[in-house]
Each structure stands twice: as structure tokens, then as C-alpha cells.
Amino acid sequence: MPTPQEETPDTQENPEPTSSLELGVIGNGSVAALIDGRGRIVWCCLPRFDGDASFCALLSPQCEGGDWSIELEDIDRAEQHYMPNTAVLVTRLYDHHGSGVEIVDYMPRFRTRGRFYHPVLIARRVRPIGGSPRIRVRLRPLCKYGSETPQSTSGSNHIRFLLDGVVQRLTSDVSSTMIERGLPFFLEKPAHFVFGPDETLTESPADFIHHTLENTLTYWREWVRNLSVPYEWQEPIIRAAITLKLCQYEATGAIVAALTTSIPESANSGRNWDYRYCWLRDAAFTVRALNRLGATRSMEEYIRYVFNLVAADGDNEIGPVFGITFEHELPETQVASLAGYRGMGPVRVGNDAWRQRQNDVYGSVVLASSQIFFDRRLEHPGDELTFRRLECMGELALRVAETPDAGLWEYRGRAAVHTYSAAMCWAACDRLAHIATELGLDERARYWHDEAVALHARIEARAWNEKLGTFVDAYDGEHLDASLLLLADIGFVNAMDPRFIATVDAIGVALGRGDYLFRYIAPDDFGAPETSFNICTFWYIEALAATGRRERARMMFEHMLAQRNPLGLLSEDIAPANGEHWGNFPQTYSMVGLIQAAMRLSRRWEDAL
């Protein structure tokens, strides 16, 4: 596992075919792909994040294939790393005789002609790095979530695949016959593969990859250079930030919760969900984390997405999750043609959370948008018109603040007036008061301030359990959940308030398992949870730091860094017994938690130098 300050490539000795989440991610804001330790593309949806899984080997398709591999004969070991400060992945394979190949994988992203170039395209370069390596190229996309093999046609240097909803063309300087038949050959010089739109390349594959790779490397290095990173843990923070950036669909500004569907939260649990959509809450957390790093463009794009949603809904209540092109309904179905991650189905497409009421979403939208009214760096800062749009969210927050909902954990079988949901509705009113003050709208500032004060008092009266001596998860409740750790973060209570400290301590006892934290332990629709929820562990770390236990917080944080996969990524959940990753991947929540905790705990540059 990587150490917190690691800069050198990670090595995987004798990697096995994908049976764990030791995966890397490449992407460009239009599409993304997951690649295992041997350079095999095992997941990629085309032509966008929530499209058909043309590469679906990760979820065990019934048809042969669903992957794109560069196989080295008589393989002995593999190494894998990202080019520093980029989303360009390098895999090196070595055989038992000392021969080897290097695979460079990326999706082009750079600015040209006044706009971003980020096509639905995967580029791969394979070159020999010693001896006489003999390889086999297997490109085997599938259709309709692994149920069909696509029709294809070929020429001397290209192969066209008629996929579900898109036609992709592979252009290469390797013979099409060698690729179609999966024939082995000696790799004597670099080979280039461009899998993209069904268009003729105007240059050779080698020239295309040469200039798009250089431009893509430059883009990512410049993007990272503009991040405001703390003194400590820079490499993990940078990797997390790049990963979050890869989860934003640039065409609309939507941010997906993860790039996959149906990786279970624990073995054979049935907790298999499709996360390839935009949860307003998750996206707001992502925006706040990137804002703290100075990457405000993602916030501006996301706010554009949200305002388009709000404009469509008018004064109606809004759901918690939407499609990346504003779809309001995401009907949930099961896919029989995929057996699931490690055979652990079901595989679901769509997510019925869109049917739920989750009242914290209004606060999430307002909190994600607040910075545009105060950040003088922005080209288009918030104005009175923007404020009026946000006021709709505040009015809805007041309407629903103390009504039952499914909560942020999306309970499917019960509803309650959840403390976190109510507190986020308060946060919407509180921030609107601050924004109105900034804009000089005194009457609106008084209105929102008075509403916030009154709501705050009602929540305190119902969410504090005098007998237990803690805040509780729901009005007049008796249980704890990890969302209560955020009450200080959103400003509902002061972090040094004895009530908050007591709540943090009680949560550590009730929900802690060693250095991990569960989101809750009470049985839900699927029984008792079996794995810790990574962002909750990071919330607990932040709460420890905020309440004066920094050394304990730092120890837990270092432990969580050591749990990242060999490329520095995290899934949604970890099994405390063995540290195994579970849940959809890469999980934006988890990468957000890493960034937030690191920035709270890091020593300042001034104190360190």
C-alpha cells in the first residue's frame, strides 16, 4: 500500500485477474474507464458515464469479452502508476525472460481553438521496454450490458463496432486481422490504438497519440499547479482532486457519485446500487472540497447544472438524484446478462432513490452555491438574480424541514424527521441571510435570519436527547448516526459545545470499529451493515480534530491513507476485518473526505518551513 508521501510507482507482484478494486481510472469529462493491474480495461460506459457498459468485464458478463487487454505471453509481474499530477496511467508488464512492455492509457483533454477537446475516445500506446516481448491484443466490447456481441466491420487499419447507441472506430498501426483474431505477435516497435468516434483520423495513430498525449499531460499538470494544496499529504490530495474532476460530466456540469453500478457494499449483501448519477448532496460535497483547493470551475459548472434543474421544477419540491442530462426519473431495473462483481448480483441500472424525499438537498444546493457571492476571483459572481433563484430553495427548505423523509442514507423502508435533514434546511436559511447581507438586501436578510433562528430552536428542542446526553438521528429519537458529526461543520453548533463533544464521543463508541466508522448500526431494509463507510470515518477524523483530539485524528487519517488501493483511490466502503474495499468505485464521497480531513489536519506552510 502507498505511504502518505509516496511519489514512486507502485508495484503489484503477480497480479491476478480483476477480483478486487485495485483499479485505476482514466477520463476526460465526457467518459471514463477503469483499468486493472495488468492494463486491462474492465469498465467503460459509452457514450457517457451512464451509458451502456460496452466494457463490463468487471461485472461478469454472460457473453465472452467486455474488456480490452494487452496480454504479454508468459507474464511474470506488473507495475502500475500514474504519470505525476495527471490522469495518464502507465502499466508495465514483464515476462519470465526479462522482456517487457509499457502501456500508456489516457483520454485526451486539453484546450484548443478556445474550447476543451474531450472526445469519447480511449488512446493507448504500447511499446517494448526490454527483450523480445510477445503480445496479444484483445478488444472485445459488448452491447446491452453484456448480453450481445456487437456487429463489426474492418479495413486494413481500422475496425468499426456498432455499439448500443454509438459507433466506435479503432484505428491502429497494428494489423486489424491480428486484433480481430487475437493473434500473438512480437512487439518490435511502439504500437498505437485510437478507439473513438467513427471518423477517419487525419493523421497517423502515432502522430495523433504523440500530440494529444503531450497536450493532455500539459493540461493536467497546469490544472494541478493551480490547486492550493496544504503542506502535508500533497500526493494523496492531488490524486483525490484529479479523481473528483474525472467524475464531472462537463457537458452539463453534473457530478456523478461514482463511475460504476452494483459493486456491493459488502459480500453477497444485495446492497448493489447504480451510482452513475448526480446526487445533489454528494455533488455539493465534491464542490466544497474542490473549492477549498481553489478549483472553482467545477463549482461554476455544477451550479449551472443545478439552476437548470431548478428552472425546470419551478416551485415544486426536488428529488435527491438526477441523470447527468437532467433526467428526473431513473427507473431501477435488474440486468440478467451481468452476474455481478465477483458474481455477486444483482446488477441494477437506474436508482429508485429518485422517488424519495430527502430534505437535506435544499441545504446542499444553497451551501454549494454560497461561495459565488463572496469569491472575488470568479468571472461571474453571484448577483441578486442568482440570489432570487436560491431563495426558491430556501422556501422549499422551510416547507419541508420538519417533515419525514428518507434521510441522507436513503432508507427504503422507513421515514422520520431526520436531524441532519432538518439542520441542512436550517443551513439553507442561514446562508441565505448571509448572502442577502452581502448583497445589501436588508429586508431579505432579516427575513432569512429570523426564519433560521426560529427553525434552529425547534430542531435543538427535538434533536437533543437529555436522557442520553447526545444529539440523536431523528426528532425525539434514541439512535445515533454518523451524519450528526456534521452539525459543527455546517455551523449548527460550535465544535467545542459540550453537547457536540458528547455526541462525537458517543458516536465513536457506538459506531466505531477500530480505526473505521459505520454510518449506523441499526438494521435497515437489508439487515445490519457489515462494512464501514469511508466518508463517515473521515467525518469522525475531522470531528476529533475540531474538538481538540488532533493526535488521535492524525493517527486515524494516516491509517485511512494506507487503506487506499495501489493507485491512491478509494471505494465507498471498507471491511474492518481485512481492509477489503467494497462499494462503487471510485467513490467521490471517499475522495472528498480524504481532501477535507487532510486540509483540516495539515500543518501550515508557515509553520513547517
Least confident of 161-170, 372-381, 419-428: 372-381
524 and 595, same domain (yes or no): yes
- pLDDT reading at 515 higher than 70: yes
Bridge pairing between strands 185-186 and 134-140: antiparallel
State whether the Cα torsion 519-522-523-528 is positive or negative: positive
Least confident of 276-280, 377-381, 474-478: 377-381
What pLDDT, on a 0 to 100 scale, did the predictor assign at position 523? 78
Assign 314 a pLDDT band (cuts: 50, 70, 90): low
176 and 283, same domain (yes or no): no
Assign 578 a pLDDT band (cuts: 50, 70, 90): very high
DSSP letter, residue 493: S
Three cell numbers, residue 433: 441571510
Report the distance separating Cα 92 and Cα 386, nearest Å. Answer: 50
Count how many domains the chain has. Answer: 2
- pLDDT reading at 413 higher than 70: yes
Per cent of the chain over pLDDT 90 is 89
219 belongs to a structural domain = no
What pLDDT, on a 0 to 100 scale, did the predictor assign at position 13? 35
Three cell numbers, residue 123: 488512446
What pLDDT, on a 0 to 100 scale, did the predictor assign at position 554? 98
Bridge pairing between strands 166-172 and 191-197: antiparallel
Task: State whether residue 16 is helix, strand or coil.
Answer: coil
427 and 509, same domain (yes or no): yes
Assign 418 a pLDDT band (cuts: 50, 70, 90): very high
- pLDDT reading at 10 higher than 90: no
Least confident of 502-506, 564-568, 600-604: 600-604
State whether the Cα torsion 198-203-208-214 is positive or negative: negative
387 belongs to a structural domain = yes
58 belongs to a structural domain = yes
**215 sits in which H/E element:** helix 205-225
Q: How many CB atoms lie within 10 A of CB 436?
A: 23
- pLDDT reading at 104 higher than 90: yes
CATH for 462: 1.50.10.10
122 and 256, same domain (yes or no): no
What pLDDT, on a 0 to 100 scale, did the predictor assign at position 15? 36
- pLDDT reading at 609 higher than 80: no
* DSSP one-letter string for 76-131: EEEEEEEPTTSS-EEEEEEETTS-EEEEEEE---EEETTEEE--S-EEEEEEEEES
Mean pLDDT of 267-292: 95
What pLDDT, on a 0 to 100 scale, did the predictor assign at position 605? 82
Assign 423 a pLDDT band (cuts: 50, 70, 90): very high
The overall average pLDDT reported for the chain is: 93
Report the distance separating Cα 180 and Cα 152, nearest Å. Answer: 10
130 belongs to a structural domain = yes
151 and 291, same domain (yes or no): no
Q: How many CB atoms lie within 10 A of CB 524?
A: 17
What pLDDT, on a 0 to 100 scale, did the predictor assign at position 312? 65
Enumerate residues 6+ apart whose C-beta is below 8 A from 467: none
Q: Which amino acid is at 72?
A: L
What pLDDT, on a 0 to 100 scale, did the predictor assign at position 1? 33
Mean pLDDT of 136-161: 95
Report the distance separating Cα 461 and Cα 69, nearest Å. Answer: 59
pLDDT tens-digit readout, 316-363: 889 999 999 999 999 999 999 999 999 999 999 999 999 999 999 999
Report the distance separating Cα 21 and Cα 369, nearest Å. Answer: 34
- pLDDT reading at 271 higher than 90: yes
Three cell numbers, residue 350: 437506474
Mean pLDDT of 72-100: 97
Domain around 182: 10-202
Cα separations in angstroms, 439 against 333, 382, 445? 47, 9, 9
160 and 264, same domain (yes or no): no
Report the distance separating Cα 108 and Cα 116, nearest Å. Answer: 10
Assign 14 a pLDDT band (cuts: 50, 70, 90): very low
Three cell numbers, residue 197: 468516434
207 belongs to a structural domain = no
Assign 4 a pLDDT band (cuts: 50, 70, 90): very low
Three cell numbers, residue 204: 497517423
What pLDDT, on a 0 to 100 scale, did the predictor assign at position 94? 97
* DSSP one-letter string for 394-432: HHHHHHHTTS-B-TTTT-SS--B-BHHHHHHHHHHHHHH
- pLDDT reading at 37 higher than 50: yes
Bridge pairing between strands 89-95 and 24-27: unpaired
Report the distance separating Cα 527 and Cα 510, nearest Å. Answer: 17
Three cell numbers, residue 578: 481485512
CB 397 within 8 A of CB 428: yes
- pLDDT reading at 105 higher than 50: yes
- pLDDT reading at 11 higher than 60: no
190 and 260, same domain (yes or no): no
What pLDDT, on a 0 to 100 scale, did the predictor assign at position 28? 98
pLDDT tens-digit readout, 523-565: 777 888 899 999 999 999 999 999 999 999 999 999 999 999 9
Assign 8 a pLDDT band (cuts: 50, 70, 90): very low
Enumerate residues 6+ apart whose C-beta is below 8 A from 443: none
What pLDDT, on a 0 to 100 scale, did the predictor assign at position 414? 84
Residue among 245, 256, 260 nearest 324 (CA):
256
257 and 191, same domain (yes or no): no
271 belongs to a structural domain = yes
- Name the residue with higher pLDDT: 93 or 10: 93
CB 192 within 8 A of CB 172: yes
Torsions phi, psi for 417 (to 5 deg): -85, 95
197 and 255, same domain (yes or no): no
> Could you give the residue ranges of the DSSP H alpha helices within 247-383?
280-292, 297-313, 361-369
What pLDDT, on a 0 to 100 scale, did the predictor assign at position 139? 98
CB 541 within 8 A of CB 557: yes
267 and 377, same domain (yes or no): yes
Mean pLDDT of 574-597: 97
58 and 197, same domain (yes or no): yes
DSSP letter, residue 252: T
Whole-prediction pTM:
0.94
Bridge pairing between strands 110-112 and 115-117: antiparallel
Least confident of 39-43, 87-91, 133-137, 414-418: 414-418
Assign 313 a pLDDT band (cuts: 50, 70, 90): low
544 belongs to a structural domain = yes
End-to-end CA distance of the chain: 28
217 belongs to a structural domain = no
471 and 361, same domain (yes or no): yes
DSSP letter, residue 353: G
